[in-house]
Structure 1
């Protein structure tokens, strides 16, 4: 008997009893028993229906079963399916190199070898040993030796071929042929939100991989305080730190779409677009470059209003008096700046009494005839004054 039929039986029995009571008659025992039994059966059927409804089992309509864990879910194959970052690394890492700068004027007491003063990264762009990197990686110390370590651990002495200080690009060459070459992609069609992988040797840790997304494809140099540059930078949240400079920023096709350049703060890093690097490679002279600029031994970042705002959000204790200057990003060991007591994180606000609006102001001062520079520096919310004697730089 269906639930609907049982409910009808119960209603008929109850109606009969009600009619007898209204006419003044009395139901006999047998009628009460029959009616009560029908009511009980109907109520039980109705309760069963309600129970089945809450249990997702409605006996009148189609049956729907709740999901039940099987207890044996297999994850096999997911590593191969979803590890797209590892696939990029497998294809691209072999062409990434570690670059080490040795200062021939400083000898390590224990090893008797020139002291390592800086390091960076680069990547092979031609199988005959041509390597692309950042200019500040290879021109950071005068009278130094540039060493290149390949992924297999072999080490070679490199020769600096071309340097463009404006774009911060350089090429070096090692005497090896048949090397794996990094594929060069296109940065013109890059989109915000794309996954990218930064390869390099941050903090001298070889073959390090970080990943993130493209935050902006057209970050104007003026926003970074960089004057005289006719290119826009790629902004990413992939970690780019000391030693990662010069390494490739790679898309998911395994193509270099940028050259890691600088980090402002956690989650904000910048890369030089590969399309600009292609222009540099096409016009390079292939001859050693002679540099006559005086040398401080620091890497700087101009403080724009946007960067200052970001720094103050990260460090609320930063002095509100700072409205311009350059942030010292890196100090080369053994350099004039290092010997004079300049540290990473210092903010240079004035040089020789003149306000510093950007890195170009420092460069213009170095082109002058002054043998000493007097710098006003903000450190730990205190202003200090430091005198530096720049070195003459030559290669």
Structure 2
């Protein structure tokens, strides 16, 4: 009987804050019952007392068990029934700011689609609304295309507006577009100076005309120098992220978990390596626009080829060798063609996204600045290019156009 009561005590008493109470209860019962098993003098009395004390022991055990059960002394495990609400923080971010993201389409007024009879789409991208009266921020390379191009903006609710390019800064690759609308949802602007490597970010845009496509990742680096990306005449840094930024994502927002735009999606080098313009540059650009220090139109003639490119630095080439099997080990310099405008001289000449330009007119190309220098020269009537495509060397010719 002693062993039974002690075993019951160990089973039922599992929490330290109730241990003493329950232990005393069983000990008291044990002391009452024990003499009935050791007393020999009066067998009749012993049998009667044994029966009574056995009843007390059983009752005490039941009372103790019910006490423990009702007070939830025993630990319990319950599966969460609301994990979607607890862990879908990215969905919360998208729900907060996706209505301010727009799809931008560039149409060529001189060319008509054979099937629809409408102006042909030559380029597309994304943007986001920063003022409720219709002011949109996007990349300059999204809206600076061929002459006589028309800009159309589609909101998240499906409404389509004609867009007017107000200001362009080709150096920082930023532009503003205005549509005639009011009371539009706006995107909050954050502070890219507070970003940290490893911070969660969400890229929202419209790749392949698919509005509000969402990708997510982390900030790989907050300071990638402009020299690495071939940006001229300005000391800029870029946000590197592993969130996928495809062609149509260009101009869309890179958003933090507070639903604030902390960057403008710009380009992707390869899987896991994408770049965005820090939002603080956008704020500086907007201040300059308000001060009337920029001019969206000038009369200086330029050579137009119709591509967006990225300088291949030693670090990027190393990454490409590790990730892309079609980049031969012999590649030590060049520029990566990120985007080719449909109908542009580059498109007509056969240049494709993903091509690596290594030489132009037998001159080695080591950065995007070398390409700009060739276009600026008087001898750039025809460009004979050596490119690498899927690991093979090809030669193509492109005749750039004169544009204002």
**TM-score, scaled relative to structure 1:** 0.79
Alignment-derived partner of residue 93 in structure 1: 98
1:75 aligns with 2:85: no
2:297 aligned partner? 289
| Alignment of 1:211 onto 2:219 | no
- Which residue of structure 1 lines up, in the alignment, with residue 274 of structure 2? 269
Q: How does 1:336-375 map to 2 (within 5 A)?
A: 336-369=345-378, 370-375=380-385
Which residue pairs with 2:398 in the alignment? Answer: 388
Q: Would you say 1:202 and 2:197 are equivalent positions?
A: no
Q: For 2:204 and 2:94, how far apart are their aligned partners in 1?
A: 8
Unaligned runs of 5+ in 1: 4-64
Alpha carbons of 1:317 and 1:181: their partners in 2 closer, same or farther (altered >3 Å)?
closer
| Mapping of residues 1-395 of structure 1, within 5 Å | 73-76=79-82, 78-284=83-289, 285=292, 288-290=296-298, 292-369=301-378, 370-394=380-404
Structure 2 unaligned segments of length 5 or more: list them: 4-72
Structure-2 separation of matches of 1:100 and 1:188: 31
Give the Cα separation in 1 of the matches to 2:92 and 2:80: 23
**CA-based RMSD:** 2.1
**Does 134-143 or 275-284 show the bigger shift?**
134-143
Cα 1:178–1:106 change in 2 (3 A) is same
CA distance in 2, matches of 1:304, 1:348: 13
**Contact (CA 8 Å) 2:228, 2:311: kept in 1 or not?**
no
Deviations 1:129-175 (A, max 9, x none): 11100000001333200110011111111111111111110111111
SS in 2 for 1:283: helix
Higher mean displacement: 378-387 or 184-193? 378-387
SS in 2 for 1:272: strand
Q: CA deviation at 1:74?
A: 4.4
Query: Would the alpha carbon gap of residues 218 and 211 (structure 1) be closer, same or farther in structure 2, given more than 3 Å must change?
Result: same
Spell out, residue by residue over 1:296-335, the C-alpha distance to the aligned partner (whole angstroms, 9 max, x if none): 1111111110111111112345222211111111111111
Deviations 1:356-386 (A, max 9, x none): 1111111121112231111111223332221
Deviations 1:166-221 (A, max 9, x none): 11101111111221111101001111111111111012211111111111111222
Cα shift at 1:226: 3.6
Q: Calculate the TM-score normalised by the size of structure 2.
A: 0.78
Q: Could you say which structure has the higher helix fraction?
A: 2
Preserved contact between residue 349 and residue 356 of structure 1 (Cα < 8 Å)? yes
